[in-house]
């Protein structure tokens, strides 16, 4: 067996994020008494992205991240609200709307019979674990590593050091990383000396210098790489 250990990213690899995120945002806005418009979500997304970059550069911590992304949104739109409450409402929306991507359950069901698996995810603990539980895939994994809980994130080596500690230090050649992000999953895995599989369902062009070992468009193709 080529890779007895599989490390899976979560967002847009096993669970849909792109679809549920605006739904969660709209749900939160309604609860806050605001009318949802797609343009508002675009404004939120822009601020959220810059706040995550600040977080990744170590300029702000995860506590600040939770409020700042909605504080920026309120400042940009002139709307009123409590940023932390909005953050909590949005995260609850992500849990409510959690859904697996096509082929995810089937793949996990098959590979779990003869592989050991862990989840490696960048995200906030109060939303990642409940989403995993909600879609019913927790039982397939030996370990679930959430960046927010350990204070480091993909692609940083510390995140992978911690993961390897947790999974009992298998030989690196036995581990396959599967994820949709070239800059976090693939770059991080590659720098750590692991084989990587870029899940690229929309056949995006790779404009980065990161070269995944494998690229796939359907999750079922993972089976060909590990058998
Ligand atoms: Mg992802």
- Ligand 1 centroid to 80 CA: how many Å? 31
- Does 192 have pLDDT greater than 90? yes
pLDDT at 190: 98
**Mean pLDDT for the stretch of residues 50-67:** 90
Residue-level pLDDT at 222: 97
- What distance in angstroms lies between residue 120's CA and the mean position of ligand 1's atoms? 10
Centroid of ligand 1 to alpha carbon of 33 (angstroms): 31
The answer to whether 121 and 9 are in contact (CB under 8 A) is yes
Report the distance separating Cα 109 and Cα 107, nearest Å. 5
Where residue 80 falls (left for φ over 0; alpha for ψ -120 to 50; beta otherwise) is beta
What's the 78 CA to ligand 1 centre distance in angstroms? 31
| Averaged confidence pLDDT in the chain | 96
Residues 101/83, Cβ–Cβ less than 8 Å = no
CA 10 / ligand 1 centre spacing (Å): 6
Q: Give Cα 168 to chain centroid, integer Å.
A: 23
Distance, CA of 4 to chain centre: 22
For 5-16+100-226, CATH gives 3.40.50.1000
Label residue 227 by pLDDT band (50, 70, 90).
confident
| The residue to which tokens 């490390």 are assigned | 7
Going by pLDDT thresholds of 50, 70 and 90, the confidence category of residue 200 is very high
Strand order in 5-8's β-sheet? 143-146, 116-121, 5-8, 175-179, 195-199, 214-216
pLDDT over threshold 90, residue 207: yes
Q: Which residues pair with 5 in a beta bridge?
A: 116, 175
Model confidence at 132, pLDDT cuts 50, 70, 90, reads very high
Model confidence at 143, in pLDDT bands (50, 70, 90)?
very high
Alpha carbon distance 116, 114 (integer Å) = 7
Measure 79 CA to ligand 1 centroid, in angstroms: 30
CA of 15 to the centre of ligand 1 (A): 9
Residue 184 Cα to ligand 1 middle (Å): 8
As a whole number, mean pLDDT of residues 81-86 equals 98
Can you tell me whether residue 194 is helix, strand or coil? coil
> According to CATH, where is 3.40.50.1000 located in the chain?
5-16+100-226
Among 51-60, 89-98, 191-200, the least confident range: 51-60
Q: What is the distance, to the nearest Å, from the Cα of residue 180 to the centroid of all Cα atoms in its chain?
A: 9
Q: What is the largest CA-CA distance in the chain?
A: 57
Q: What is the DSSP letter of 139?
A: G
For 8, the token pair is: 């899976």
Q: Which CATH number fits domain 20-96: 2.40.30.10, 1.10.150.240, 2.60.40.1180, 1.10.3720.10?
A: 1.10.150.240
CATH 1.10.150.240 residue ranges for the chain: 20-96
Tell me the C-alpha distance between 106 and 90, whole Å: 29
Q: How confident is the model at residue 186 (pLDDT cuts 50, 70, 90)?
A: very high
Q: 183: which DSSP letter?
A: I
């Amino acid at each position: 067996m080529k890779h007895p250990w599989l490390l899976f990213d979560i967002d847009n690899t096993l669970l849909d994020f792109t679809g549920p995120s605006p739904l969660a945002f709209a749900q939160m806005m309604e609860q806050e008494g605001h009318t949802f418009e797609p343009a508002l979500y675009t404004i939120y997304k822009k601020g959220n992205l810059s706040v995550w970059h600040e977080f990744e550069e170590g300029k702000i911590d995860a506590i600040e991240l939770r409020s700042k992304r909605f504080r920026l949104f309120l400042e940009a739109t002139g709307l009123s609200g409590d940023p932390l409450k909005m953050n909590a409402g949005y995260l609850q929306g992500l849990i409510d709307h959690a859904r697996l991507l096509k082929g995810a359950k089937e793949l996990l069901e098959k590979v779990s019979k003869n592989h050991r698996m862990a989840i490696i995810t960048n995200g906030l603990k109060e939303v990642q674990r409940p989403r995993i539980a909600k879609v019913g895939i927790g039982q397939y994994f030996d370990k679930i590593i959430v960046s927010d809980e350990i204070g480091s994130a993909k692609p940083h080596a510390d995140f992978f050091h911690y993961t390897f500690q947790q999974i009992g230090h298998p030989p690196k050649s036995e581990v396959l990383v599967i994820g949709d992000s070239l800059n976090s999953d693939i770059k991080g895995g590659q720098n750590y000396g692991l084989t990587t599989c870029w899940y690229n369902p929309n056949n995006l062009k790779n404009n980065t210098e990161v070269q995944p070992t494998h690229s796939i468009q359907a999750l079922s193709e993972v089976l060909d790489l590990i058998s």
